[in-house]
Amino acid sequence: MNSSSIPLLDLNDFTPFFFEGSAIPLVQQDFLERSFHIYNRKENPPIDYMSPNRRKFYKILHSTKGEAVLTIGLNEYVINKPVLAFIHPDNIISWKNKSSDHEGYFCLFHLDYLNNFSYLQYAFINYPFFKADKSVIALNMEESAKIEDCFREINNEYNSDHEDKKEAIGLQLQRILFEGKRAGNHLVYQPVSDVYRHLHDFINLLETIFVINSPADKIRLKTAAEFAQELYLHPNYLNALIKQHTGKTLKTHIQDRLLYEAQALLRYTSWNIQEISNCLGFTEQANFALFFNRKTGVSPSKYREQSH
């Protein structure tokens, strides 16, 4: 089956890995339906989180006030002045608040939101600032004011009933790209710590092994010991590190990701239960059914029936 038929992590389903406490959904919105969202950061203050890659949505962040540490890939940025950040779906990101007085805007969107604007899709795909080492641009007050005007216009259009509001939003997104490129003052970053690098490598590995495009594919790692061996770390050390910084054990993360993939395959493919069971590394279909029922309270076939 074509890989495009199997969705990547989406905003409705996406659950981030938090630095503190248990994982909860980042946002619960009808993102699949509308493919675009904008948020006022004062009304929706940021929380500490770490998110996996393999998402579908792009993110543009304009921070006008507040202090935090933003990590994109393995590059750590200290945010304490106006910045504009471009975050690609393939980047592992994290946010750690250093103050509570955040202001500005951010928007999340799928490229398919811009289906009627091929030139703008091309611009986003090829925009140089979606690379982890060039993602954050420091802004002076004049530059920041121009960007803020763009986001206010987007917010106004987003909440309007105008039939052509998508076109208006597209124009403002294009202006943000232009203003960001014109400013071009990339914020200096520093390498992440060894601890963060281990977290990053684990999340990256966790996402990489779950690239399943056909019934013939099969995940190659499933246990905590196998993940630790792949990362050249002792299982006890990796488990302690993951538990300390995410609030969940290594085993729980693996099982949560296994469950997410099972649900996605049941919802978005026509593969039979046995094929899905094999893909996910279960030797017997009965073992897969037992795992799924224990996690969701329903059988795989019942979940598929309820999802359609």
Q: Give domain limits for the chain.
A: 35-191, 194-307
Which percentage of the chain shows pLDDT scores above 90?
51
Residue tagged 């979940």 (tokens): 303
Same fold, 35-191 and 194-307: no
Q: Which fold has domain 194-307?
A: Arc Repressor Mutant, subunit A (1.10.10)
Cα distance between residue 53 and residue 57, in whole Å: 10
Find which of 13-22, 44-53, 148-157 is predicted with most confidence, using mean pLDDT: 148-157
pLDDT digits (tens, 9 = 90+) for 36-69: 899 999 999 988 888 876 667 889 999 999 999 9
- Hey, what are 244's tokens? 């300390």
- pLDDT top residue among 134 and 116: 134
Nearest to 83 by CA among 72, 74, 91, 73: 72
171: exposed, middle or buried (C-beta count within 10 Å: 0-12, 13-18, 19+)?
Answer: middle
Residue tagged 């996402």 (tokens): 207
Cα distance between residue 269 and residue 3, in whole Å: 10
- pLDDT score of 139 more than 60: yes
Tell me what the mean pLDDT of segment 196-201 comes to.
90
CB 151 within 8 A of CB 107: yes
pLDDT digits (tens, 9 = 90+) for 159-189: 999 999 999 999 999 999 999 999 988 998 8
What are the backbone dihedrals phi and psi of residue 260, each rounded to the nearest 5 degrees, phi first?
A: -55, -45
How much is the pLDDT for 47?
A: 87
- If you average pLDDT over every residue of the chain, what do you get? 85
Instruction: Please compute, for residue 298, the number of CA atoms within 13 A of its CA located in the half-sphere on the CB side.
Output: 11
Neighbours of 66 (CB within 10 A): 20
How much is the pLDDT for 53?
A: 63
- pLDDT score of 104 more than 60: yes
CB 106 within 8 A of CB 41: yes
Tell me what the mean pLDDT of segment 200-214 comes to.
87
Cα distance between residue 85 and residue 83, in whole Å: 6
Q: Look at the alpha carbons of 276, 279, 280, 283 in this order and tell me if their dihedral is positive or negative.
A: positive
CATH architecture of 35-191: Sandwich (2.60)
Nearest to 205 by CA among 230, 234, 241: 230
Tell me what the mean pLDDT of segment 118-125 comes to.
84
